[in-house]
């Protein structure tokens, strides 16, 4: 019910721009441009040179700063559900940049902890993934969402934890739902999330998929810290790795 009311309120009572505060706009054109995906590219976790072991190649649609950061947090923590559309645009661009090509894509969102979903009233990554899959299909790329990952055990709050602590906290925390292999059969699996920091969450998600015998074509996120974007001259090798 909470999610339904948030959706309705966002549609009929538009507030200020979530990115910059401009009046009477859920998202102003300037902040929307920041999520257009024009700057999509390969990224590596800022805290580690190559990311945690098992991390697939990752692409991001935007830099996690300024208006982009504000929009991500408004959607995730304050229930501004209509923002899933623009966030999905950035995510779709990251998917296309990293794993575009022939064949069907299956977007597998990283699941939120059950208590977080209850508190927020929605699952941010899953909602953004659904928006992204729609944009991909409209762009001619067959795509669908398959939420085949689920929490296996409770984990501590990640806030304030370092890279090593996050890896230890998340080790073995996810698993593939029964029937996950059947749901994703014949498609390229792309892990998706809203933001990457240390890469621990995506690495654990990839481990869980591989443990179930599923391949991972790559990963994509809405946004990443500016200093985690790989320079153009070194991007080719990273892009090839992401879709192996």
For the stretch 135-194, pLDDT in tens is 999 999 999 999 999 988 677 666 666 667 666 666 667 999 999 989 998 899 999 999
Whether the CB-CB separation of 196 and 221 falls below 8 Å is answered with yes
- In whole angstroms, what is the distance from residue 112 CA to residue 117 CA? 6
**Which residues, 6 or more positions from 20, have their beta carbon under 8 angstroms from its beta carbon?**
28, 30, 31, 67, 70
Q: Does pLDDT of 20 surpass 70?
A: yes
CA atoms within 13 A on the CB side of 117: 12
Burial of 52 (0-12, 13-18, 19+ CB in 10 A): buried
Q: For residues 24 and 45, what is the distance between their CA atoms, to the nearest angstrom?
A: 36
Residue with tokens 């009477």: 24
What pLDDT does residue 14 have?
A: 52
| For residue 238, pLDDT beyond 60 | no
DSSP state of 140: T
Q: Taking residues 214-237, what's their average pLDDT?
A: 82
What is the pLDDT, as a whole number, of residue 232? 56
Specify the higher pLDDT residue, 87 or 4: 87
Q: What is the average pLDDT score of the chain?
A: 85
- Asked whether the predicted pLDDT for residue 4 surpasses 50, the reply is no
Give the C-alpha distances (Å, rounded to integers) separating 31 from 61, 72, 86, 93, 172: 14, 12, 9, 16, 38
Between 5 and 96, where is the model more confident?
96
User: Which of 61-75, 104-118, 222-236 is predicted most confidently?
Assistant: 61-75
Sequence-distant (6+) residues with CB within 8 A of 14 are: 24, 25, 26
Tokens linked to 118:
């209850």
Average pLDDT over residues 36-63: 87
Residues 6+ apart with CB under 8 A from 107: 95, 129, 132, 133, 143, 144, 145, 146, 190, 192, 220
| Residue of higher predicted confidence among 11 and 144 | 144
Mean pLDDT of 216-230: 96
Supply the pTM of this predicted model.
Answer: 0.85
Residue 15 pLDDT > 50, yes or no?
yes
195 phi, psi to nearest 5 deg: -140, 150
Q: How many Å from the N-terminal Cα to the C-terminal Cα in the chain?
A: 42
**Is a pLDDT exceeding 90 seen at residue 49?**
no
Ordered strands of the 218-224 beta sheet: 41-43, 58-63, 218-224, 188-195, 105-109, 143-145
Look up tokens 């805290």; give the residue. 47
For residue 118, pLDDT over 90 is answered with no
H-type alpha helices, the chain: 2-12, 29-34, 66-77, 84-99, 114-120, 124-138, 163-170, 180-184, 200-211, 235-242
pLDDT tens per residue across span 65-77: 999 999 999 999 8
User: Taking 90 as the threshold, does the pLDDT of residue 231 lie above it?
Assistant: no
Q: What are residue 140's DSSP bridge partners?
A: none
Residue 126: pLDDT over 50: yes
């Amino acid at each position: 019910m909470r999610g339904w009311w948030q959706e309705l309120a966002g549609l009929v009572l538009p507030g200020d721009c979530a990115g910059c505060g401009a009046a009477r706009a859920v998202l102003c054109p300037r902040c929307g441009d920041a999520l257009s995906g024009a700057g999509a590219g390969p990224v590596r976790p800022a805290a580690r040179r190559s990311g945690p072991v098992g991390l697939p190649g990752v692409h991001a649609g935007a830099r996690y700063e300024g208006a982009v950061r504000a929009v991500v947090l408004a959607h995730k923590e304050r229930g501004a559900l209509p923002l899933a559309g623009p966030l999905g645009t950035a995510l779709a661009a990251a998917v296309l940049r990293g794993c575009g090509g022939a064949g069907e894509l299956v977007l597998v969102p990283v699941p939120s902890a059950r208590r977080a979903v209850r508190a927020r009233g929605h699952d941010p990554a899953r909602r953004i993934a659904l928006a992204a899959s729609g944009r991909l299909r409209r762009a001619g790329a067959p795509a669908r969402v398959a939420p085949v990952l689920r929490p296996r055990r409770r984990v501590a709050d990640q806030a304030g934890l370092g890279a090593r602590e996050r890896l230890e906290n998340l080790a073995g925390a996810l698993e593939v739902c029964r029937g996950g292999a059947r749901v994703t059969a014949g498609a390229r699996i792309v892990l998706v999330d809203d933001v990457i920091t240390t890469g621990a969450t995506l690495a654990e998600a990839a481990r869980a998929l591989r443990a179930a015998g599923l391949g991972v074509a790559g990963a994509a996120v809405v946004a990443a810290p500016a200093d985690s974007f790989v320079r153009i001259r070194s991007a080719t090798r990273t892009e090839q790795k992401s879709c192996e």
